Chain A
Amino acid sequence: MVFTTYEFLILLVVAAVLYYTLPRSFQWKLLLAASAVFYAYSGLDNLIYLAVTIISVYLATRRMDDLLAEQARGLAADIPGENAKAYRAAIKRRRRRLMVLCLVLNLGILVVIKYTAFAVQGADAVFHVLAKPEDLGFFRFALPLGLSFYTFQSVSYVIDSYRAKKAGYVERNPFKLALFISFFPQMVQGPISRFGDLKQTLFERHAADADAISAGALRVFFGFFKKLVIADRLMPVIRALTAPGDEFAGAYVLLTALVYAVTLYCDFTGGIDVTIGTARIFGVKLAENFDRPFYSKSVAEYWRRWHITMGTWFRDYIFYPLSASKPMIRLIKPARRLLGDHIGKRLPVYIATMVTWFATGLWHGAAWNFIVWGVLNGAVILISQELTPLYGKFRSKLRLGDGKVYGAFEIFRTFWLMSLIRVFDVYADVPRTLRMFGTIFTDFGAGKLIANGIAPLGLSLADIVLAAVSLAAMIIAGAVSRSKPGSFNSVTFRVSLCAVLALAVIVFGKYGLGYDARQFIYNQF
């Protein structure tokens, strides 16, 4: 089911009414039922994959928890000194085997479904394994809804269960675990929640609270506004400017990067607003996934403020385990001898950063453009880190200090750096991206851009004005809520705003509710 459909709104309203009218002991069960309906709507076949994940994660983590309890009983039975260490190590090995088995199964499903065609295509390019190119279709599997997101959420739960020091971390009710993995507002594009953060708010009983419900509803309508009035209105511009033929080169590439930055932001944050708002209507507080990323002063900071839960997932489950692993730590000594003190001690971080960003790119999609995009992000972060002392010198030499002007320059630099890296996502073809990027330097053609006016954009002047006004409204609303936090607290005001936003979506929404041919960009990851 897609958020921008009448079916989703009906599900939301019916579930919310039942949620607050049925006895509160039924609340989490109702959310599980709503999640099943939401998911089944995208195809019953997909439920099989989800069921395999839930059952395997449940069995593995429950056994891991049992082993921890067994260990506590064993140690209480007074196993002396060295034996206790060996006993703990034996239990740890058994728990690690369970974790590895469960991760291999679930990541295996993700890898096979998402990457088989990409791997076969790569193998074919080198070894010509396919009799004819059409045979590749056999290896393309339909991607179950939210597979990448719920698999990552499950992986974090399995690893955290393994890392638990005492028995009791694991959820022993399989249906509650099923709800954690499949909670419908968040399963298609995150945020990727941790069990420790979500369990209380998800399973506790909630009284109908006008404040939470109105705040949630306002966030949902604001999300629809961002998605349907702004993002979907601007999407045709991206399609027009990236149409085959490389007609729109030079300055148009910069324009494409700019429009795509705004479109992706409104699309993704709009979807997350609907997610967080929907959860809030049920009294469930989800983690925020954005913190004004376009105000970041470095690429590393940008990634701490954009898709936050994905960044922390990669940091906690790939970057640190890899960079702090024994082989990496042991690598430092010889690396210092060979490469010098400065680079030697940083080598684990260099390697872990590049591996993490390679994985991040691959996670976004089975295509070279995503891999190049990921590796570029990693490289820029490392280069920026190394250039930091140079920036400091440059700043003191020009006597720029920490003033607002230099801060604005840093924000401008980061925005454009990220927008240009994102161009790999727009053209979705590495050689073409490089070719188009090159035209910025070889054939800028600012005059052509001005002379053509708005004709190539595929939008009317009214559409452009509407998009600009809507963007301004979005920015002002954000600024007001930050500078005067209580501005949107009145329930009556929120309800009125919901009505205004709903009307705006109905009248100005590019396709209107019910149009489900285009999904949210992040659904495809």
Chain B
Amino acid sequence: MDKLLVILRNLDAEADFENCVTLIDGGILDSFDIISIIAAIDEEFGITVPAEEIIPENFNSAKALYEMIQRLDEE
């Protein structure tokens, strides 16, 4: 989770990634950020995020993102 929070803070140092649950719905992350996160996940975790996983439910919070990473790792 810490590794993921570092990735997110690199995008925006001021956003409250630990508590925010509307990163997409609230317009905090845009398509540039989403692709940057996917690239960082590929680099840091060695996990490819397929296009069908790019839905608000998976990107709205750090927790949801982390759960997606864990699920993809298990698959």
Contacts and interface: CB of A to CB of B under 8 A. Distances in A.
Interface of A: 88, 163, 316, 319-321, 323-326, 328-330, 332-333, 345-346, 348-349, 385
B36 to A, nearest CB: 5
Residue in A320, A323, A348 with the greatest tally of chain B CB atoms within 10 Å: A320
Contacts of A332: 39
Given A329-B38, A329-B39, 12 more contacts: A324-B38, A324-B49, A325-B51, A326-B42, A326-B48, A329-B42, A345-B32, A346-B32, A348-B39, A349-B32, A385-B30, A385-B32
B51 A324 contact: yes
Given A329-B38, A329-B42, A320 B54 contact: yes
B14 interface: no
Given A323-B31, A324-B54, A329-B42, A345 B36 contact: yes
B35 interface: yes
Size bin of chain B's contact surface: 10 to 19
Interface in B21-38: 30-32, 34-36, 38
A345 B51 contact: no
Contacts, number: 42
A332 B37 CA distance: 12
A356 to B, nearest CB: 10
24 contacts: A319-B31, A320-B51, A320-B54, A321-B51, A323-B31, A324-B38, A324-B49, A324-B54, A325-B51, A326-B42, A326-B48, A328-B35, A329-B35, A329-B39, A329-B48, A332-B39, A333-B43, A345-B32, A345-B35, A345-B36, A346-B32, A346-B35, A349-B35, A385-B32
Contacts of A326: 42, 48
B52 A163 contact: yes
B52 A349 contact: no
Given A320-B54, A321-B51, A324-B50, A349 B42 contact: no
5 closest A-B pairs by beta carbon, nearest first, are: A321-B51, A163-B52, A320-B51, A320-B54, A332-B39
B30 to A, nearest CB: 8
